Structure formats: structure tokens, C-alpha cells
Amino acid sequence: MGLDLNGSKFLLYAKESGVDFTKSMMIGRQELHLTRREMSRLLNACHVRTGPGDIERIFSASGPYADEYLRFIGSEEVHSMDYSGHEGATFIHDMNQPVPESVKNQYSVVIDGGSLEHIFNLPTALRNCMEMTAVGGHFISITPANNFLGHGFYQFSPELFFSALSEDNGFEIVRVIAFEARRNARWFAAKDPRVIGRRVTLCNSTPTYLLVLARRVAERPIFATPPQQSDYLAYWEGGGRNKGRANRGVLVQWMKHHLYKPLERSFKKVLRVFFQAFNPRFFEPVRWPSSRPASGSRAP
């Protein structure tokens, strides 16, 4: 668990997007997985001014953990929750179990920096994060997508978060961003499958992360109705008439399977040598930081 270069950058992005870090909860006490030089360059690239000693204080005031970085970007209270006390978490709690009432609706931001995939009872763990977020606050997740087989119990798709962090559950998605774990990675915003009417897919060969930012807009019973995948909902609501494949002729199916698909796979392999794998039907580039200064640094 920890904040690397892109995770640290995403918190700055969240800050500029209006996230209030005043009272922060980390799921697992996050470490900082970047160097002082990388942090200095990141803050400079994101137009965040620093004062004398700020970089050193970020890395030394709370040991290897990210507490001081969160204070730098606006936190007044920094809490953490973990199964074990070996990293000095504020609360010792198994996220497979519901959190106590005392921590519900308490935090301006709840940050999952790579914990959810390690928790077997995922719906309960995600609901815990959502319930701890105060109305008007935000939930942030930095979590694995493709090519993390064996890293944890799970790898996640954008649709999980679009479906779970929905209006029915008192949330709205601000952004779901995907990026490949490579140097100078580009960010791509995933489109909502419910809006574009199809699954948002990505087939690639590089470890890929999701950056999720959602706002709690109302206090509603979470997962009172379990989320359903959007294309199945459309199919069921359409009486089974929108399946598409069932209405295609046998010849069309044969041509697609034996001609079009092999050509498409070969073409994509060539493209991936030179370009990112993100299909513009499903993803759009995120151009950040902008040229204007980011808000939120405590430094003058």
C-alpha cells in the first residue's frame, strides 16, 4: 500500500477538483513510494509552491508514511484504518466487517491507496469506505485494473465503480482514470458504460491502474439494491431484444470470428508498439496539470 508518483499526483488533481482534505481517512496507512527529487519535480510540474524545508518535512515528519503529505495538501486530521497495528494505524478494524457507527459520515475524504483488492469481502469493504465519507466529501481509490494477476484477490473494471458509486447509493462519479504503469504515463478518463451504451474494455499487456474520484451527495442506504452491469440491465429492460448478437446472421458471425477478429487483433498489436492501448470509444485523454497554478498548497 502506498502513494507512488501517479498516486501522489492524483491527490493533487483531486485537490484542484475541489476535494477537501481537512479530515482524511486512509484505508491502510499509506507509505510514500517516491523520492524527494520526484516529489519536488511533481509539485513543481503541478504548479504547487513549496516553502523552505517542505519537501524534507513531507518525508521525515511521519516516517515513511503519507500523513505529512496529506497535511501539506490541507489535512488537519489524518486517520488510518488497518487489520493490524504493525504500521501504527489509528483504528484497528477488519474491513471484511462493517465499520462502527462512530466513524460513519465523519471524513471529508476517504482514501484507498491499494487496499480494496486485498479484502475478500469486497462489497462490505467498499460500503465501509462509502459510509465513512461525509455527505459532501469524496472517496478516492487508487486500485489495480489489468495485468495484476496474483497481486490481490481482485482486479477491477471501471464499471464496478460507475455502478457502485451511483446516485442510488448517494454518490456521483467525478472521474475514473486509467493509466499504464510506465514512465511518463498518460492518463485516460474512462467513459460511463451506461452513457455510451456498451462495455468499457481494455486489452493490453502492461500493468494498469484505475484512479477513482467520487463525491457523496446524499446519505442513502448503500447497496440496498445490489448494482447490476449496465448492458445486462438494458437487455433485461428491453425484453431481450437488444442483445444484438442473436439477431445477426450465421454468415456475419462466421466472418466476424474468422476474418475480422484476427485482423483486428493483429492491427492492435502493431499499434500498441507505438501507441497506448486505450480505445477512444471508451477513453479520452486527461490533460493535467493545466498551465494555471493549482490551488491548495499550504505554502505561500
The pLDDT of residue 257 is 66
The pLDDT of residue 182 is 87
The pLDDT of residue 150 is 96
The pLDDT of residue 238 is 80
Asked if the 2-238+278-286 domain carries CATH number 1.10.3720.10, the reply is: no
Q: Domain locations in the chain?
A: 2-238+278-286, 245-274
Secondary structure of the chain as H, E, C letters: CEECHHHHHHHHHHHHCCCCCCEEEEECCCEECCCHHHHHHHHHHCCCCCCCCHHHHHHHCCCCECHHHHHHCCCCEEEEEECCCCCCCCEECCCCCCCCHHHCCCEEEEEECCCHHHCCCHHHHHHHHHHHEEEEEEEEEEEECCCCCCCCCCCCCHHHHHHHCCHHHCEEEEEEEEEECCCCCCEEEECCHHHHCCCCCCCCCCCEEEEEEEEECCCCCCCCCCCCCHHHHHHHHCCCCCCCHHHCCHHHHHHHHHHHHHHHHHHHHHHHHHCCCCCCCCEEEECCCCCCCCCCCCCC
pTM of the model: 0.87
Residue-wise pLDDT tens for the chain (300 aa)? 799 999 999 999 999 999 999 999 999 999 999 999 999 999 999 999 999 999 999 999 999 999 999 999 999 999 999 999 999 999 999 999 999 999 999 999 999 999 999 999 999 999 999 999 999 999 999 999 999 999 999 999 999 999 999 999 999 999 999 999 987 899 999 999 999 999 999 999 999 999 999 999 999 999 999 999 998 988 888 876 655 444 445 566 666 666 766 776 666 665 554 456 899 999 999 999 865 544 444 432
